[in-house]
A = this chain, B = another copy of it.
Amino acid sequence: MSVALPPKAILFDVFGTCVDWRTSITRAGEALGQRLGLMDIDWAAFADAWRAQYQPQLTSVRSGARPWTRLEILNRESLDTVLTDFGLQQVSATERDAFNLAWRYLLPWPDTVAGLHRLKTRFIIAPNSNADIALAVGMAKFAHLPWDVILGAEVAQHYKPQPEVYLRSVAALGLTPPEVVMVAAHNEDLVAAGALGLQTAFIPRPLEHGPGQTNDLHPEHTFTYVARDLHELAAQLGA
């Protein structure tokens, strides 16, 4: 690992890597259920079902089947599908709009905020997420994620793991791929980044999908850095 050049910027996956979307969406569902008197709903299963709509929705944009559509709009459409699947058609449009905003109010992992602050002292830090700008800003304001700049899918008008997203983020910083590290808890994201010449850092988040998680528990490829959390990554990077 010591042969890697010192980077100038660190890009981060956000959902799962920086924030615990599953716990946060589960709690938002529980709050909604209490308020509306919805009984016997497994809100963790609801959160998983909502998230399971994510890749098919993104694929519809990636494939060109539909024009660029930002993630909050896709999430809102997915919510309708999942509410129907759970027999919750009675939830009003106003409640649905409010529930969809729960994706802006996601809890960071315990090391996230301090780790980002530490990395920010030495590097440019930015999300390179499929979240759109409004969603990413809302998440950052709520969770106190101290980004220097919001990059990612909306700036590139493409969704990860399409190469345009990584390359547009690197170019927007006036840098070259080897000057940038992509950080993620997901092997696929890092394989895509590494294939384009970016440095890569794997941070396991073994509870992202709850206690039964089976994927992305370990790095499955050779990455530039592997660290237990953002503190350990900061130490490896000399920050």
Q: Which residue of B lies closest to A73 (CB)?
A: B174
> Can you tell how many copies of this chain the complex includes?
2
Q: Which residues of B contact A151 (CB under 8 A)?
A: 133
Q: How many angstroms from the CA of A134 to the CA of B170 in the assembled complex?
A: 10
Q: Give the residue of B134, B141, B149, B174 whose beta carbon is less than 8 angstroms from that of A150.
A: B149
Shortest CB distance A8–B (Å): 10
Shortest CB distance A203–B (Å): 23
A172 within 8 A of B: yes
Q: Which residues of A from 110 to 155 have beta carbons under 8 Å from B?
A: 124, 132-137, 140-141, 147-151, 154-155
Q: Which residue of B lies closest to A123 (CB)?
A: B141
A216 within 8 A of B: no
Shortest CB distance A124–B (Å): 6
Shortest CB distance A44–B (Å): 28
- One digit per residue, 1 when the CB lies within 8 angstroms of any chain B CB and 0 when it does not, for chain A 210-231 equals 0000000000000000000000
B72 touches A134 (CB 8 A): no
